[in-house]
Amino acid sequence: DQQVKQNSPSLSVQEGRISILNCDYTNSMFDYFLWYKKYPAEGPTFLISISSIKDKNEDGRFTVFLNKSAKHLSLHIVPSQPGDSAVYFCAAKWSNTGKLIFGQGTTLQVKP
């Protein structure tokens, strides 16, 4: 049973446009949500996070939105750059254990 789902395996956007990556979760016991970025042959690196008590967090070109009623979060990248091409993982943190549950990942391609 996948508790954190990224239903789009891939996304392609033009440079300068907005990239929107989506993530759905099923459990209300998650208290933090994180996005990680992964380049080929490298480990994932932390990108941005949001607490479950917030609905938006912004860091430069990256903004994460949380809709608790829909159990949905999204990552917006504006403007998208070719260097943003990578796999993006959504992760949710269990409140009672601190462990992370990851989604399947979405491969973003930003075309010049």
Nearest distance from C-beta of residue 43 to another protein, angstroms? 3
Closest CB to another protein among residues 27, 45 = 45
Residue 97 and residue 94: Cα distance in Å, rounded?
6
Interacting residues toward another protein by CB under 8 A: 4, 6, 9, 31-32, 34, 36, 41-46, 49, 51-53, 89, 91, 93, 95-105
Closest CB to another protein among residues 7, 14 = 7
Nearest distance from C-beta of residue 15 to another protein, angstroms? 27
Nearest distance from C-beta of residue 42 to another protein, angstroms? 6
Token look-up 């075309």 returns 111
Residue 34 and residue 75: Cα distance in Å, rounded?
10
Closest CB to another protein among residues 39, 67 = 39
Nearest distance from C-beta of residue 23 to another protein, angstroms? 11
Closest CB to another protein among residues 4, 110 = 4
Burial class (CB in 10 A: 0-12, 13-18, 19+), 59: exposed
